[in-house]
């Protein structure tokens, strides 16, 4: 496989001189794969590009993209990645810093993971064996940890332990070659969050986290600013607003909420209707709620089929009826029997004043996840797609 290590630089002359030297010792020792290095320099005033240019005479594996104005790390990577894929025919793209905070000695360990079939190899500070610099203050550590946690929760990817690092290896075929760089959600450092979300959430890449020690920058200055945090939040939000699973879950919530209102008002309506029969009030409400609940189940089924699961829509009449019965069955279990049981047991133990508490617990703790699972897996599961 051909791995292109992309190194964006802005005023990194001193680091670059040393880095190319360090890389010249790494490139030849990786035997099973071909390593090439692509510097992407945004017209650094200190003359970083000149250093790369003169070293290129010695090293055929060294490439340079230069002369562009400084527009941000995301823009630099977009350019570098497109070039690496099209002009250098990369099979894997590595994101790498120029300032030795990502130790070059870890490159072979990352590249070796390709042989185990991984699509996305993440150098991780937050798995056993990984670390951040020991001299980081508590504040700095906390900011990094919290930022990470927000990304993991916001993108719903607890399986990734280091979401904000910048040392990664991504498969091109079927992954990065299908990414539309025009849609990149950030021109700055937060582009990383978008690529991570794309690889993990959209592409369901096979991931490997390789522990590594993030080191201190020795020379030059960091280009990171706290503004990048806000930018990362923006990327998470924009990504999720377009995430088909999130949109689906939102529709499922709306349909469920409407179903609840149908049940609530239906109960009042049918209470009025059945009052004319001179039944005891308990029976009136029992039948009224059963009627209203069934109507809400029917409305849930119809609207979920038309809207939430429009892509998996059931149209075959025989299937429609059998799925409707399955839906009814699961609604009775998930929406009536189990919540009633939870409320019954809960109030028996803790007292009647907790009735609503247990209702909410039952609905959000059980019914919502249960329905979401059953709908996705069984009612509108993939097997329906013919």
Write each residue from 155 to 174 as x if it is in contact with ligand GDD (CB under 6 A), else as -, in one continuous string.
---------xxx--------
Which of 63, 98, 199, 303 is close enough to bind ligand GDD by CB under 6 A? 98
In angstroms, what is the minimal distance from the CB of 97 to Mn ion? 5
Q: Which is nearer to Mn ion, 7 or 210 (CB)?
A: 7
Name the segment binding Mn ion (CB under 5 A); options: 44-52, 130-138, 209-217, 355-363.
209-217
Between CA 239 and CA 29, with CA 192 as vertex, the angle to 5 degrees is: 145
The DSSP 8-state label assigned to residue 215 in this structure reads P
Q: Does 76 bind ligand GDD (CB under 6 A)?
A: yes
| Distant-in-sequence, close-in-space partners of 357: CB < 8 Å, separation ≥ 6 | 346
Q: Does 101 bind Mn ion (CB under 5 A)?
A: yes
| Distant-in-sequence, close-in-space partners of 191: CB < 8 Å, separation ≥ 6 | 72, 73, 74, 77, 78, 184, 185, 235
In angstroms, what is the minimal distance from the CB of 67 to ligand GDD? 11
As to burial, measured by CB atoms within 10 angstroms (0-12 exposed, 13-18 middle, 19+ buried), residue 72 is: buried
By residue count, the chain amounts to 386
Q: Which is nearer to ligand GDD, 224 or 341 (CB)?
A: 224
From 234, 106, 229, 86, select the one nearest 167 (Cα to Cα).
106
- Spatial separation of the C-alpha atoms in residues 361 and 373, rounded to whole Å: 17
In angstroms, what is the minimal distance from the CB of 187 to ligand GDD? 9
Q: Does 2 bind ligand GDD (CB under 6 A)?
A: no
In angstroms, what is the minimal distance from the CB of 302 to Mn ion? 55
Name the segment binding ligand GDD (CB under 6 A); options: 96-104, 202-210, 295-303, 356-364.
96-104
CA atoms within 13 A on the CB side of 131: 8
- Contact of 322 with 284, CB cutoff 8 Å: no
Which of 42, 95, 99, 209 is close enough to bind Mn ion by CB under 5 A? 99
**116 backbone dihedrals φ, ψ, rounded to 5°:** -95, 15
In angstroms, what is the minimal distance from the CB of 105 to Mn ion? 17
Cβ of 59: how many Cβ atoms within 10 Å? 15
In angstroms, what is the minimal distance from the CB of 37 to ligand GDD? 13
Q: Does 234 bind ligand GDD (CB under 6 A)?
A: no
State the DSSP string of 223-267. ---THHHHHHHHHHHHHHHT-HHHHHHHHHHHHHHHHHHHHHHHH
Place of tokens 């089924």: 301
Name the segment binding ligand GDD (CB under 6 A); options: 7-15, 151-159, 194-202, 298-306.
7-15
Pairing of strands 168-171, 2-9: unpaired
In angstroms, what is the minimal distance from the CB of 220 to Mn ion? 8
Q: Which is nearer to Mn ion, 166 or 266 (CB)?
A: 166
Q: Does 99 bind ligand GDD (CB under 6 A)?
A: yes
Q: What DSSP element (H or E) covers 210?
A: strand 207-211
Write each residue from 180 to 219 as x if it is in contact with ligand GDD (CB under 6 A), else as -, in one continuous string.
---------x--x------------------------x--
- Spatial separation of the C-alpha atoms in residues 132 and 134, rounded to whole Å: 6
With CB under 6 A as the rule, give the number of residues binding ligand GDD: 24
- Contact of 71 with 8, CB cutoff 8 Å: no
In angstroms, what is the minimal distance from the CB of 144 to ligand GDD? 6
Which spans of this chain sit near ligand GDD (rule: CB under 6 A)? 8-10, 12, 40-42, 70, 72-73, 76, 97-99, 101, 164-166, 189, 192, 217, 222-224
């Amino acid at each position: 496989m051909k791995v292109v290590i992309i190194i964006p630089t802005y005023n990194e002359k001193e680091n670059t001189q040393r880095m190319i030297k360090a890389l010249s010792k790494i490139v030849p020792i990786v035997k099973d794969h071909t390593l090439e290095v692509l510097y992407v320099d945004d017209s650094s005033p200190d003359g970083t590009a000149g250093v790369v240019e003169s070293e290129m005479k010695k090293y055929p594996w060294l490439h340079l993209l230069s002369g562009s104005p400084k527009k941000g790390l995301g823009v630099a990577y977009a350019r570098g990645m497109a070039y690496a894929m099209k002009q250098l025919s990369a099979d894997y793209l590595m994101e790498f810093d120029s300032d030795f905070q990502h130790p070059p000695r870890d490159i072979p360990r990352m590249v070796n993971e390709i042989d185990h079939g991984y699509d996305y190899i993440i150098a991780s500070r937050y798995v056993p064996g990984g670390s951040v610099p020991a001299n980081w203050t508590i504040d700095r550590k906390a900011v990094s940890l919290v930022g990470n946690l927000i990304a993991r929760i916001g993108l719903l990817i607890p399986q990734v332990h280091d979401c904000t690092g910048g040392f990664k290896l991504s498969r091109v075929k079927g992954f990065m070659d299908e990414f539309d760089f025009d849609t990149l959600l950030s021109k700055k450092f937060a582009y990383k969050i978008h690529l991570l979300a794309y690889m993990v959430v959209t592409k369901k890449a096979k991931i490997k986290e390789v522990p590594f020690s993030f080191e201190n920058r020795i020379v030059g200055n960091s280009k990171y600013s706290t503004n990048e945090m806000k930018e990362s939040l923006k990327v998470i939000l924009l990504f999720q607003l377009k995430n088909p699973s999130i949109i689906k879950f939102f529709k499922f919530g709306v349909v469920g909420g409407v179903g609840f209102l149908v049940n609530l008002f239906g109960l009042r309506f049918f209470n009025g209707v059945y009052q004319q029969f001179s039944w005891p009030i308990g029976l009136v409400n029992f039948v009224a709620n059963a009627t209203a609940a069934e109507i809400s189940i029917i409305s849930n089924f119809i609207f979920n089929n038309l809207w939430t699961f429009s892509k998996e829509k059931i149209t075959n009449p025989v299937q429609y009826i059998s799925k409707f019965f399955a839906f009814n069955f699961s609604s009775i279990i998930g929406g009536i029997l189990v919540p009633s049981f939870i409320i019954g047991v809960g109030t028996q133990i803790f007292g009647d004043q907790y009735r609503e508490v247990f209702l909410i617990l039952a609905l959000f703790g059980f019914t919502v996840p249960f329905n979401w699972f059953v709908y996705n897996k069984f009612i509108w599961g993939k097997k329906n797609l013919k």
